[in-house]
Structure 1
Amino acid sequence: MAEQSLKDKTAKGLFWGGLSNGIQQLLNLLFGIALARVLNSEDYGMIAMLTIFSSIAGSLQESGFTAALVNKKEVSHRDYNAVFWFSSGISLCLYFILFLCAPLIARFYDVPELTPLARYSFLGFFIASLGIAHSAYLFRHLMVKQKAMAAIIGLVISGSVGVTMALMGFAYWGIATQSIVYVATINLCYWKLSPWRPTLSFDFKPLKGMLSFSSKLLITNIFNQINNNLFSVILGKFYNEQTVGYYSQANKWNLMGHLLISSMVNGVAQPVFAQVGDERERQLRVFRKMLRFTAFVSFPAMLGLSLIAPQFIVIAITDKWMESAEMLQLLCIGGAFIPITLLYSNLVISKGKSNIFMWNTVALGVLQLAAMLLLHTYGIRTMILVYVIINISWLLVWHFFVWREIGLTLIQALKDILSFAFIAAGVMVATYYMTLGICNIYLLLMAKITIAATLYISIMWISRSVTFKESLQYLTKKKR
C-alpha cells in the first residue's frame, strides 16, 4: 500500500511538474521571442554580466535551508520561521553590500552603465528571500500543482511587463524589471497558496540543527552559480557585451530545454528519495525507474533542439541572432545529460551527504574555471565544446558516489541511459540526412520535428519500451 501510495504521489508530481513546466517553457518561448525581436545582443549582454552576482547573493540568502527542511524528518513552525527571518535579514544586508559595490562591478567590465542597472536589478534577490520558507513548505509537501500555478501566473505578468517596456524603448531595463516582477508575483502566490505564516518571534536556534547540512549546500550552490555563469563573466572580461549577448541567448534556449525535464524530475526526486531513504533495495528500484524516465525524455528533447537550432533561431528571433545557433547546438548536447546529473545529485543529498555534493561541485567548478581561462584565446566555440565534454565526463564521478550509496552498478546505469541516448542520436542523424533536400526554412523545421518525433515514438512502440508504455498509460488515465 505504501509502495503504491508513493508511486501515485511520484507519478502525480511528475505529471503536474511536466505539465506546468511545459506551459512555463511555452510562455518563456513566446515572451523570449518577443523580447529578442525587439532587443539586441548588447541588451542581453548587460544583464548577463550581472547574473553571477545576483545568483551568488541568492544562494547566500537561501543558504541551503530549503533542502535541509525537506530532508528533516520532523519540521515545526519554529523551523520555517527561523529560515524566513534569517533569509530576509541576510538578503537585506547583501543588497546594501552589492549596492555599494556596483561601481566596482562596472569598473571590472569597463561598462559605466552597469552601476545604476546593478543597483536596480539586485532588488530581485531581496524580494525573492521573502518566499523561501513558503516555497520550502510547498516543496516538502509535494504541492507541485500549487507551485506550478504560482510560476505560470508570475511568467504571464512579468513577461507582459518586460515586452511592454521593451516596446517602449527601455531596452535592458525592461529585462531587469521583468525579473523583479516575476519574483514579486511568484512570492505573492506562494504566500496565498501556502497555509504557513511567519510570526514575530526571532528564534534562530532551529538553524543550528540544519547548519551542518545546509552550509555544505550553500558552498555547493555558490559554486553551481559560478559554474553556470562562468562563460558570461569570462566573455564579458575578455570579449564584449555583444559576444556575451549571443552566448546568453543560446544558453537561455538551452536552459529552457533541459529545465523542462530537470524541474519536472527535481520537483519530486528529493522528497521521494528521502521517504525511501532507509530501504536500499527500494531506493535503487525507484532511482532506476526515474533514471530511465529522465533519459527517455531528455535525450530526444535536447538532441532534437540541437537538430533544429539554426532554423529555430532564424524563424523565432530573426537572423540577427544567427551567431547563437551554433553555440546552442553544442550546449544542447551537454544539456541532454544535465537532468541525469541532477537526479544523481538529488540522490546524494537525500542520503544526507551534502559534503559529497559540495566537494564534487567545487572540484568541477575549479576544473571548468581553469579550462576556460586557458582556452579563452581559442574562441568561444572551443570553450563551449570543452565545457560540454567536462560536464558529461563528470557524470562518472557522480555515479561512483551513487554506486556507493545504493549499489547502482555502472552496467545498470549505462543500460538505463544509453539505450535512449543511442536511439535519440540515431533518430536525429537519420532525420538530418532525410531533410537535406528541403530548402524552405519553414518546411525544413516542420519536417525535422515531424520525422524525428515519428521515428522516436515508432522505435519506442516497436521495441516495447516499458518506460514509454507506463508514460502512455498514465497520460491516457489522466485524460480519462
Structure 2
Amino acid sequence: MHSSRIGRKTLDSFAVLLSHFTSIGVGLVIPPVASRTMPDAKSEMGVFALLMLIYSFASVLATGSLGSFAIWRQDLERAGKSTLYWLSLALGLTTSGILVLLCFPITAWLAIPAWRFGLMAMAISCIPLSWSGVATSILRKHHRFGTVLAVEIFRNASLIFISCSFLFAGFGVWGLILGVVIANLVAASSATLAEGGPSFEFSSAIAKDAFTYCKGLAGFNCVNYWSRNLDNLLVGKFYGDSVLGSYSIAYRMMVLPIRLAGTVFGGLLLPYLAPIQDDHIVLRKKLLQVVQATGLLIIPLMTLFWLERKHIIDWYLQPGWEDTIKILGILVPVGMSQLLISPLGICYQLSGRTTRLFWVGIFNSSVVAIGFVVGLLGDLHWFVVVYSVVNIILLYPTVHFSFSCVGGRFSEWLRSVLPFAAIPLCCYLIDYSFMHDQNMLTDMFASVILVACVSLLTTALWLKAPMRFILNQLMPYSKSRIA
C-alpha cells in the first residue's frame, strides 16, 4: 500500500512537471519559425510582444485567482463548483468587454493602431481562458494530474500547429494571434469535457468567500505582473517594436532557466519542506541545499549559453539578431543571480508571512520602476545596464527579507553561492584569452569541455555537499545512500 502511494505521488509529480515543460516548449518552438517566415521578423515579433503584454495582463484579471480558491476551498460541493464557473464567465466577459473598449486607445498609445482588431480578438479569448482556469483547477483539486497533462498537451499542440501553419502560409502576426485564440478555445472545451462542467446552481455564500479570498491575491498578481513586465512595455513604447523584438527574445531566453528551476522545484519544494517549517535550523540547511543544487544543475548550462550565445542565436533565429546577442551578454549573468535567489521566495509561505511578501513586492517594484525611468535616458544598451545595476542593488534586500523569515542571514546565503561565481568567471577568462575559433561546431565542443572541466573542479573543491544532496535525491530508496 505504501509503495503504491509513493508510485501515485511520483506519477502525479511527473505529470505536473511535464505539463509545465510543454508550456515552456511552446516558447521555444514558435520564435525560430517566426524569425524564418516573417518578412520583418524583429518588428513583427515586437508587435506581437506588445499585444501579448496587454493580453497577458488581461488574463491575470480574467482568471481572478478563482482557480487558487477552487483548490484551497475544502468543502466545494456541486453548487460551489458551479458558482466558480459562473463567476469565471462573468469575470471573463467583464475583462474582455473592458479591453475591447480600450483596444483603440491602447494600440494608439503603443503606436500600433493597425493591430487594434488583433488585440480585440485576443481580448475576446479571455472568456474561454477564464473558464478553463477554473476547470483545470478543479481537476488538480481532485488529483487528476494526468487529465490536466492531457489538456495542456492538447492546448499547446494546437497552439504550435495553428501558429506555425499560419506563419508558413504568410499570415505573420495574425498567425500568432489566431494560434492563441484557438488554443484557448481548445483548452476550455477539453477541460470542461474532462471535468464535467457546471450545473445551473449558484451559491452567494461561495461567491462572497471567493471574493474575500481572491481580492488580495489578485491584487498582488497584478502588481507582480507589471514589476516583471514593465520593461517590455517601456522598451516597446519608447524604443519601438523592432527593438522590443530583439529585447523580448533576449529577456525570454534569460528567464528560461529560472522558469525551468521553478518548474522542477516550485511544485515540490513546499510539500517537501512544510513538515519541518517550525525547525528553522534544519529548514535553513535544506533551503541552502536546494539553492546549491539548483546552481550546480543550471549554472553550468547558463555559462555555456553565455559563452556561445552568438552561435546559438545565429542557429536558433538565423543571423541578424546582433542586438539580442549583446543584450544576452548582460542579462545572462543577471539571470544567474536571480536563479540562486528564487528558491528563497518560499520562505514567506513556510513562515506564513505573506503580508511581508506583498510589501517587499511593492518595494522591489518601485525600485525597478525608478531604474527603468533612469534607463530611458539613454539607448537600449544603457537601459539594460541600468536594469542589471538595479538587480544588483536589490540583491541584499531580496535575500534578507525572505531568508530572515526563517532566521537566516544574507551572509549564510552568500557563502553558499559564492563558489558558483567561479564557474562563469573562470570560463569567461579562459575563453577570452585562448579560444578564438570561429567555427560553430569546434567552438561549441571546446566550450562544452571547458565548462565541464571548470564545473567539475569547482564541485570537487567547494561543492561536494550539494552534489551528494543531488545524488541522494536521485536515489531516494537506495540502501546505501551517499554519505
Partner residue, 2:200: 200
Residue 143 of structure 1: how far off its partner (Å)? 6.4
1:37-52 map, 5 Å: 37-39=36-38, 40-52=41-53
Q: For 1:423 and 1:144, how far apart are their aligned partners in 2?
A: 40
1:62-211 map, 5 Å: 62-68=63-69, 74-77=74-77, 80-137=81-138, 147-188=148-189, 190-191=191-192, 197-206=197-206, 208-209=208-209, 211=211
1:34-433 map, 5 Å: 34-39=33-38, 40-68=41-69, 74-77=74-77, 80-137=81-138, 147-188=148-189, 190-191=191-192, 197-206=197-206, 208-209=208-209, 211=211, 214-272=214-272, 277=277, 280=280, 283-419=283-419, 421-430=420-429, 432-433=431-432
Residue 132 of structure 1: how far off its partner (Å)? 1.9
1:386-444 CA-to-partner distances (Å, cap 9, x unmatched) read 2233234424323333344321222332233333x224324532562476221213332
Any conservation in 2 of the 1:49–1:233 contact (CA below 8 Å)?
Answer: yes
1:301-326 CA-to-partner distances (Å, cap 9, x unmatched) read 33332222211111211112222111
> Counterpart of 1:84 in structure 2: which amino acid?
Y
Tell me, which stretches of 5 or more residues in structure 1 are unaligned?
none
CA, structure 1 residues 358+366, in 2 after alignment: closer, same or farther (shift >3 Å)?
Answer: same
Residue 129 of structure 1: how far off its partner (Å)? 1.0
1:79-117 CA-to-partner distances (Å, cap 9, x unmatched) read 654443323311211101111111101210232212111
How many correspondences in the alignment?
Answer: 474
CA, structure 1 residues 402+87, in 2 after alignment: closer, same or farther (shift >3 Å)?
Answer: same
Any conservation in 1 of the 2:292–2:416 contact (CA below 8 Å)?
Answer: yes
Q: For 1:64 and 1:275, how far apart are their aligned partners in 2?
A: 26
Residue 30 of structure 1: how far off its partner (Å)? 3.4
Partner residue, 2:455: 456
1:439-478 map, 5 Å: 439-457=438-456, 459-460=458-459, 465-472=464-471, 474-475=473-474
Q: Give TM-score, length-normalised by structure 1.
A: 0.85
Partner residue, 1:29: 28
Residue 56 of structure 1: how far off its partner (Å)? 2.1
> Counterpart of 1:163 in structure 2: which amino acid?
C
**Stretch of structure 1 that moved more, 428-437 or 301-310:** 428-437
Any conservation in 2 of the 1:48–1:248 contact (CA below 8 Å)?
Answer: yes
Q: For 2:365 and 2:97, how far apart are their aligned partners in 1?
A: 28
Q: For 1:149 and 1:428, how far apart are their aligned partners in 2?
A: 42
Which has the greater radius of gyration? 2
Q: Give TM-score, length-normalised by structure 2.
A: 0.84
Q: For 2:141 and 2:338, how far apart are their aligned partners in 1?
A: 23
SS of equivalent to 1:113: helix
Tell me, which stretches of 5 or more residues in structure 2 are unaligned?
478-483
Q: Which has the higher contact order (CA 8 A, sep 6+)?
A: 1
Q: For 2:312 and 2:423, how far apart are their aligned partners in 1?
A: 19
**Stretch of structure 1 that moved more, 139-148 or 226-235:** 139-148
**Stretch of structure 1 that moved more, 122-131 or 374-383:** 122-131
Any conservation in 2 of the 1:461–1:468 contact (CA below 8 Å)?
Answer: no
> Counterpart of 1:98 in structure 2: which amino acid?
L
SS of equivalent to 1:438: coil
Q: For 2:33 and 2:292, how far apart are their aligned partners in 1?
A: 36
